[in-house]
Structure 1
Amino acid sequence: MSQGAHLEILRPFQVTCGGRRVAVSHAAQRLLAFLALHREGMDRRAVAEQLWPDCTPCRAAANLRSALCQGRRVGPVPPIDSLDHSLTLATSFSVDFHDAWDAAYRLVSGECKLPDGDGLVADLSQVLLPGWDDEWLLLHRERWDQLRLYALEALAQHFQTEGRHLSALQASLAAVSIDPFRETPHRIAVEVHLAEGNVASAVKRYQEYRRLLQAELQVAPSPQLTRLVRDLTPM
């Protein structure tokens, strides 16, 4: 495709070229998304087997050829590179998921200073290919959820240290939406409320979390979290 080709898979699937949305068939969508999640490329046979696991090898290979043919209609330059028996997404494509993944990974691994925090929170709040239920997507979605969970917690703690209370709350609540049982984002939210002097909000957050744990898992919050609100109201 021409310069400016962009693939979105953190929101409803979309391809744009030069700022204009491009129609993509369902089969080509699945192929483009699959290759976007396998940045190193993959053997054609493996691609066919994973995208069409219920088909015979011959049928899966035919489906792949059809998807490749349909994909060529996405733009004037083929969006998929084929070298020997390997398929990769063309380097002319930018992918929202790649940018978000790389920024989150650098943040969690401590390889760089904080990127655009608020913008990254918005990207990390997105589900990978929402509405898709393909089996090959499940592991990628789980890996993305774990990375964005840790990155959101890191961002929340950074915002909290800087006194950016609203940003810290937004990041922590985005993490809660990924895993409501995980204590770290709840603790950060409680700490932020207390830093603002919002005692009632802090206690409310703690009590809601405690009720969730008791109802679903029959466990209690950690002593560390409980100590934050222990003297504020009868437990």
Structure 2
Amino acid sequence: MSVDRPGVRIAVLGGFGLWVGGEPVAVPGGSERVLAFVALRCRAAVPRHLIAGTLWPEASERRAHADLRAALARSGAGRPALEITPAEVRLAPGTTVDLHHARRTAQRLLDPAGPHRLPEVPLDAVLALSTDLLPGWYEDWALAEAEEWRQLRLHALETLAARLGAARRCAEAVTAAQAAVHAEPLRESAQTCLVRAHLADGNPSEALNAFTRYARRLHEELGLEPTERLHRLAAGDVRPARAPSASRGGHAGVTRRREEW
């Protein structure tokens, strides 16, 4: 006999949140951590010893298991989100997690064997890929998951920006590239996407401004300079070799070459 469960939604992007039956639910900190840890494992069953050892690494094994039992017992209204057995914990059927949808969006964009279609609503995809995972959580497991997500979404945003630019949807390409730059301002591949998007949109001054801001920050924070390739791109010269001639102005030829995304 099946048991009807209220709809349960867990958020880990932008901070932890839990909704049951459409209503927000507050749970104690220890229960939050268990829910978040299990939610990050998608639908896989998570052994109780793994949860206990990861969330309470300084405690003895016996103490860590006792803390896990207490956290599960205190989860209260959050219990419908989980299926709990003596050996493992997993998400209950029907429980949704915002990260799972965002990951699928990123993976579809990056799949080399995929159809390379644009998302139906590109700006919704940009929004899904623009949010940090559990900001303010500084435990090792949370930081590792956050970094893995950051790398995935940066690559996906850059891919989306390039695909939008190639489709001549330049305003959306700029938005996607700006999201990548906001996530990691010192990442040259993200800055390159932004410069390309501005050039494709016919705005060489915006491209140069973006490049100048990046070059200044890169020098101030790391003592580094942008690559010669990005220098040439920002100046409107996308060719792989030969420096621009003195007779050609800083942005000469941009109108023609901006067609070459």
TM-score of the aligned structures, taking structure 1 as reference length: 0.90
- Number of positions where the alignment pairs a residue of Structure 1 with one of Structure 2: 231
In the alignment, structure 1 residue 166 sits paired with structure 2 residue 168: no
The amino acid that maps onto 1:34 is F
- Tell me the distance in 2 between the aligned counterparts of 1:197 and 1:171: 17
The structure whose Rg is larger is 2
The answer for the alignment partner of 2:238 in structure 1 is none
Distance 1:5 1:42 in 2: 19
- Superposition map of 1:1-235 within 5 A: 2-39=5-42, 40-71=44-75, 73-74=76-77, 78-83=80-85, 85-110=87-112, 111-112=114-115, 113-115=117-119, 116-230=121-235, 231-232=249-250
Moved more, 119-128 or 79-88: 79-88
Counterpart secondary structure, 1:104: helix
Give the AA of the match of 2:90. T
Shift of residue 3, structure 1, vs aligned partner: 4.3
In 2, Cα distance between the equivalents of 1:226 and 1:20?
A: 52
SS of aligned partner of 1:107: helix
Cα separation, 2, equivalents of 1:94 and 1:152: 23
CA distance in 2, matches of 1:126, 1:133: 17
Identity percentage over the alignment? 37
C-alpha root-mean-square deviation of aligned residues, in Å? 1.9
Contact 1:2 1:17 in 2 (8 A): no
Does structure 2 conserve the Cα–Cα contact (< 8 Å) formed by 1:41 and 1:88? yes
Say whether the 8 Å CA contact 1:156–1:172 is kept in structure 2.
yes
Take 1:125 and 1:207, find their aligned partners in 2: how far apart are those partners? 24
CA contact under 8 A between 2:171 and 2:201: conserved in structure 1? no
Quick one: distance in 1 between partners of 2:109 and 2:85?
34
CA offset at residue 10 of structure 1?
A: 0.5
Letter in 2 for 1:88: R
**In 2: Cα distance, 1:147 partner to 1:223 partner:** 26
Q: Which has the higher helix share?
A: 1
Structure 2 residue runs of 5 or longer lacking an equivalent are 236-248, 252-261
Greater RCO, CA 8 A, separation 6+: 1
TM-score by length of 2: 0.82
TM-superposed deviation, 1:60 = 0.9
- Indicate if the aligned counterparts of 1:107 and 1:151 stay in contact, CA closer than 8 A: yes
Larger mean Cα displacement after TM superposition, 170-179 or 105-114: 105-114
Query: Secondary structure of the equivalent of 2:74?
Result: helix
Once the two structures are TM-superposed, the CA of residue 163 in structure 1 deviates from its matched residue by 2.1
Residues 8 and 80 in structure 2, CA contact (< 8 A), matched pair in contact too: no
Contact 1:213 1:221 (C-alpha < 8 Å) held by counterparts? yes
Q: Deviations over 1:176-205 (max 9, x none)?
A: 122222212211211222223322211111
Aligned to 2:255: none
Contact 1:199/1:232 (8 A) holds in 2: no
